[in-house]
Amino acid sequence: MEKVGREVRPFSKIKGNKEYKEEIALLETYLDLSGEDSELSKQFKESTKKLMDTVEVKYSSFKEEEIQKFIIEDKWFATLTSKVEEEIKRLSQKITGKITLLTEYYESPLKEKELELEKLEEKVNQHLKVMGFLDVVKKNKI
């Protein structure tokens, strides 16, 4: 059909007219493609129905043990495995952090720590002596 202003002319009225040669070709192509489209749509629906029927037949043929195997081994097992691996990685990182902390803490030997403690104790005692508290501390063993 051709639309002229508000008037719509049927395709049959312009079909032999050379003025509308390009429009006619486009309309014929459109009609061919829309016919193919409806045919392809019909084939798609038929194929989908056939596939669903095949799936239904296949599913109905499964035994309970097979279904359990699919669900437990193929789905749940994979999920559980990944969750366990994630937890192992998390715990490994936590343990590694603690080991690093302990390594830093015990990096210097005990003798060095004792010497450092003595130096700091001497320093504190000097400050207490200057402030006049060293004798009080020694008497009361505070």
pLDDT in tens, 68-108: 888 887 788 888 999 999 999 999 999 999 999 888 877 77
Asked whether 1 and 8 are in contact (CB, 8 A), the reply is: yes
pLDDT in tens, 3-56: 444 444 566 666 677 777 788 788 788 888 887 778 888 899 999 999 999 989
Q: What residue ranges do the domains of the chain occupy?
A: 1-61, 64-107, 109-142
Looking at residues 120-131, what average pLDDT do you find?
89
Q: How confident is the model at residue 118 (pLDDT cuts 50, 70, 90)?
A: very high
Per-residue confidence (pLDDT) for residue 106, from 0 to 100: 78
DSSP one-letter code for 108: S
Between 19 and 127, the higher pLDDT residue: 127
pTM, full prediction:
0.35
Instruction: Report how far apart, in Å, the C-alpha atoms of 19 and of each of 9, 14, 25, 49, 104 are.
Output: 14, 9, 12, 47, 93
Per-residue confidence (pLDDT) for residue 3, from 0 to 100: 47
Per-residue confidence (pLDDT) for residue 46, from 0 to 100: 94
Per-residue confidence (pLDDT) for residue 141, from 0 to 100: 61
